[in-house]
Amino acid sequence: SIRFLEFVCKINMSKEFSKYNDKQLFESCRNNQISKDELFTELYTRYSQRIYAYCLRVLSTIEDAKDVFQESFISFYKSDKFNNLEFQNTSVFGYLLIITRNVCLNHKRTSVELVNIDDFLIGFNDSRYEEKELLKLISMALEFLDIQYREPFVLRQYEGLSYTEIAEIIGCNESTIRNRVWRAKDKIREILAPYIDDLNKQSKVNA
């Protein structure tokens, strides 16, 4: 599967399609101005890093994330929706997330960029730690969250999706998503409390 993705994404990489939006790319493909492999290559270039980051944050381990990432893009490439070029009114990234989410859930059944740091300063107002260190702690805390809390948190805080978009992807109502994101933040604060306390003590000692 790795070789498959590498092979497809080396096709016509010299051509520049970044000036076109997704809708224009699909229109060009429908008009036979570009091939489906060229279309896929550009979409892979645009969204692969974000999809992989989602996989890593939801699954936590690099090996599992890579497996799910590869399977997700292969499923997208083989999907009827992609092959029939049915993306006139559909978000490509949203569709990729739906595929990836399903693969993640299946994977978990058989074996959870930009975080708003201010959300986690509540209750830690006297803390003296670097943002980089806090990001590491948040990533660690994510591993302890159930998938129902981890997933909407990742989509909201890391991908910047709206609650409405997350609700459509996950298949819940918006109020449920808001509650799960709030619960995730609350759980993360609870998990991080002793670590933040240690950082504060170390900071005072070194002051």
Q: What is the pLDDT of residues 119-135, one digit of tens each?
A: 554 444 444 445 666 67
pLDDT of residue 202: 60
Question: How confident is the prediction for the chain on average, in pLDDT?
Answer: 77
Q: How far apart are CA 196 and CA 207, in angstroms?
A: 16
In this prediction the pTM is 0.58
- Reported as a single tens digit per residue, the pLDDT across 50-85 is 999 888 888 867 888 888 898 899 899 989 889 888
What's residue 51's pLDDT? 92
The more confidently predicted of residues 96 and 16 is 96
pLDDT reported for residue 159: 80
Angle at 66 between CA 61 and CA 70, to 5 degrees: 155
Contact (Cβ atoms closer than 8 angstroms) between residue 113 and residue 54: no
Q: Are 111 and 104 in contact (CB under 8 A)?
A: no
pLDDT, one tens digit per residue, over 151-163 is: 888 888 888 888 8
Instruction: Indicate whether 198 pLDDT > 70.
Output: no
Give residue 73's pLDDT: 92
